[in-house]
Structure formats: structure tokens, C-alpha cells
Amino acid sequence: MKQLGTATLAAGLIALSACQPVPRHTVTSIDWAMQESGVQSSLRGLAVVDSDIAWIGAPDGVVLRTVDGGTNWTRSRIEAAAGLDLRSAHGFDAHHALFFTAGSPARLFETRDGGTSFTLLYEDGSDAAFFDGLGFWDAMRGIAFSDPVDGIFHILLTDDGGRSWTTAANLPAPLDGEAGFAASDTGLALGEAGRVWIGTGGAARARILSSPDFGASWGVVNAPLASGQAGAGIFSIAAAGNTLVAVGGDYTRADARAGVAAYSLDGGHIWFEPETPPAGYRSAVASIPGLGGHFLAVGPNGSDLSRDGGRVWEGISEAGYNAVAFAPGTLTGWAVGTDGKIARLTIRRGLE
């Protein structure tokens, strides 16, 4: 029998190992721990800073904050936002946060003392302005988007932490009836190096606006989600590198599964329908940190998990929520919903 040399044997072992699947981590369980919010309103404006700190904007100018992982939620109120719904929020730290009202008047408020006091930073002069989302790439550079005003998409940009805003230019023309949705403050997703994606609906086609350069230039593509009705389209987008997931549907047909999700593998240029969609209309989706290709979507009739970048979805709960977000770099987060519902999420992972 011919003897194999050491080098030949080593090469064979390397080739064999290369053929073996590489184990990867996946979700093994999700714990939904209910927390006491102290309010009975519908919650949507969720901003998670870290595993201890989160802010929530609520109707009638109410602001909720936790600094201990949700064991205690403190309540404050923006008097100048009485009667207004704070559906967009961004938290910088335990003391500093911004809140945008949905509807008219469109106002942006800031607190720098943990919610003890609030300052009006911006008020839009148009009665047609209706802000659907707010996000920041860093402490200074941010973006807010509204439904179209006077037939033009209304997108604001800041480079000083929200103290001043300029109107984005070079935007595509909106379709008849096209607008955003303020269902979860996640109708826009921010990526590295100034990338941003914004989902729309209410028109003949669901579309995604995108910019690669902090809003200096813009493009638009169609996405295969529900369209043709005022309540149909893209309600939420999440990004993990070049993998993007969009969810939505028609909120008036919460159990319909057609056109409720899509995914992209190339940074949002081409979008595909999932092989197995979520179990109905979904108002929010979030990328799960540290688990490549894992996304969690929530809606009024339950939540779904994708382990493969949005191709296949599996139902994991029938509890309804409006919004979901994870603390950066962790497997903990929160989901919020109607009647003041707040759940603390803890994901456990293991090897496939």
C-alpha cells in the first residue's frame, strides 16, 4: 500500500474540513418579560440606548424613561405637546433625548436632564407636515422624514444634534397618495457611512427611497409589498450590513399574509418576496445584534423570526406589539404596544 506523506495527509484533512458546514449561532429562545408602564395608551416611539436605558414617546406629550432595564419606568410630560402623539424618538443617553410629534403641529422637543424639562427645537411651518421617523448616524448627524408637503418629499437633515435642520434636496417625485407610516418610528433604517433607507406606501407601488451619503443624493426602487390602498405599504425597515428587511402590508387586513415582507441582499437595490412570509401585517422589524441574518418582526396579531435574512419566517408569539428595538451590540431589547404594554426581550442563542 502506498504511504501518504504528511503534507498530503494535511492537505486532505484541510479539504475535508472545508466541506463541513461551519457552525453558527442562532436563536434558541426569546423571553418576553412584561413590565409596568404606568400608562394605558398605545405606545410606538421606542428608543433604546443600551440594555439599561430606553425612552418611549407616548400620546398626549407623555414621555417614559428607564435607566434600570425597565424595572422602573418614570413618567414626564411635555406641556407644549399636550394632545399630541410622540411617535418618533431618539435617545442619546440617560439624560438626552429627542421627540417628534406625529401630525400637526409638527414639533421636535429635546430634553437634556432626563425628562425634567423640555425645549422646543423645531416647529414645521406647514400644516401638511406629518413626521413618520427620526434617526441619527452619530451624536451630530441625523435625519427626519415627513409625508410629502406641496407635492415634494419632506426630509430634514441636521449636523448639530438636532438644533438646526435643513431640507434635503435632489429627491425623487412622490407618487399620487405616497406617504410614510408613523406606526413604529422604524420606517427608516440607517446604515454605516451615511446610508439610509425610507419605506413608503399609500400609492400604486410600495417604494424605498435611499441615500448613500447622509442625504445629499437620493434614489428610489420598487419593493414587492402590499400597495394600491391608503393603508398599505412599507411600515418598517431594518438593516444589517447589505442585508435589509422591509415589513408592512395593509394594516386594515391584519391577518393577510400577501405582501407583508421583502428582503434585499445587495444594500437595497433589488428586493425579493420571502418564501414563507410573516403571519400578517407587521408594523416593525429589527435586526438582532450579533446574529447574522436574524430579524424579529412584530405586529398586532403576533411576532415572527427569520434566521436567514428574511427568506423564511416562523411565528413565535401571538401577542401583539407596535414596535421593537434592541440595545446595540446586545441580545436584549424591548417591544411596546397598545394599552401601555411593554415587554423586555432577552434572546438566548446556541449553535445550530
Write the Ramachandran bin of 194: left for phi over 0, alpha for psi from -120 to 50, otherwise beta. left
Please state whether the predicted TM-score (pTM) of the whole model is above 0.85.
Answer: yes
Consecutive H or E run containing 18: helix 6-19
In this model, does residue 23 exceed pLDDT 90?
no
Residue 200 has a pLDDT of: 99
* pLDDT-derived band at 345, boundaries 50, 70, 90: very high
Q: Could you tell me which residue, 4 or 80, shows the higher pLDDT? A: 80
Residue 22 has a pLDDT of: 59
Please state the domain extents for the chain: 25-351
Residue 352 has a pLDDT of: 80
| CB-based contact 190:137 (threshold 8 Å) | yes
Mean of pLDDT values over 110-137: 97
In this model, does residue 237 exceed pLDDT 70?
yes
**DSSP conformation class of 60:** G
Write the Ramachandran bin of 163: left for phi over 0, alpha for psi from -120 to 50, otherwise beta. alpha
* pLDDT-derived band at 6, boundaries 50, 70, 90: very low
Instruction: Identify the residue whose cell numbers are 446610508.
Output: 195
Q: Say whether domain 25-351 belongs to CATH 3.40.50.300.
A: no
In this model, does residue 97 exceed pLDDT 50?
yes
- pLDDT-above-90 percentage for the chain: 91
Tell me the C-alpha to C-alpha distance, in Å, between residue 242 and each of 115, 151, 175, 270, 336: 36, 31, 27, 11, 27
Question: 41-78: per-residue pLDDT in tens?
Answer: 999 999 999 999 999 999 999 999 999 999 999 999 99
Residue 14 has a pLDDT of: 46
Residue 21 has a pLDDT of: 57
The DSSP string of 213-233 is STTSS-EEEE-SS--SSTTEE
Burial of residue 8 (CB within 10 Å: 0-12, 13-18, 19+) is exposed
* pLDDT-derived band at 151, boundaries 50, 70, 90: very high
Residue 195 has a pLDDT of: 99
* pLDDT-derived band at 20, boundaries 50, 70, 90: low
In this model, does residue 206 exceed pLDDT 80?
yes
Residue 24 has a pLDDT of: 84
Mean of pLDDT values over 86-105: 98
Burial of residue 2 (CB within 10 Å: 0-12, 13-18, 19+) is exposed
* pLDDT-derived band at 125, boundaries 50, 70, 90: confident
Mean of pLDDT values over 95-108: 97
Distance CA(146)–CA(144), nearest Å, equals 7
Which residues contact residue 69 at a Cβ distance below 8 angstroms, ignoring those fewer than 6 apart? 51, 52, 332, 344
Q: Which cell goes with 174?
A: 412622490
Residue 1 has a pLDDT of: 38
Question: 298-314: per-residue pLDDT in tens?
Answer: 999 999 999 999 999 99
The C-alpha angle 133, 135, 141, rounded to 5 degrees, equals 135
| CB-based contact 277:261 (threshold 8 Å) | yes
Residue 158 has a pLDDT of: 99
* pLDDT-derived band at 4, boundaries 50, 70, 90: very low
Mean pLDDT over all residues of the chain?
Answer: 94
Which residues contact residue 122 at a Cβ distance below 8 angstroms, ignoring those fewer than 6 apart? 107, 108, 156, 162, 165
Q: Which cell goes with 317?
A: 408569539
Amino acid making up residue 198? I
Name the phi and psi angles at 193, rounded to 5. 60, 35
- Structure-derived torsion over alpha carbons of residues 121, 126, 130, 134, reported in degrees to the nearest 10: -30
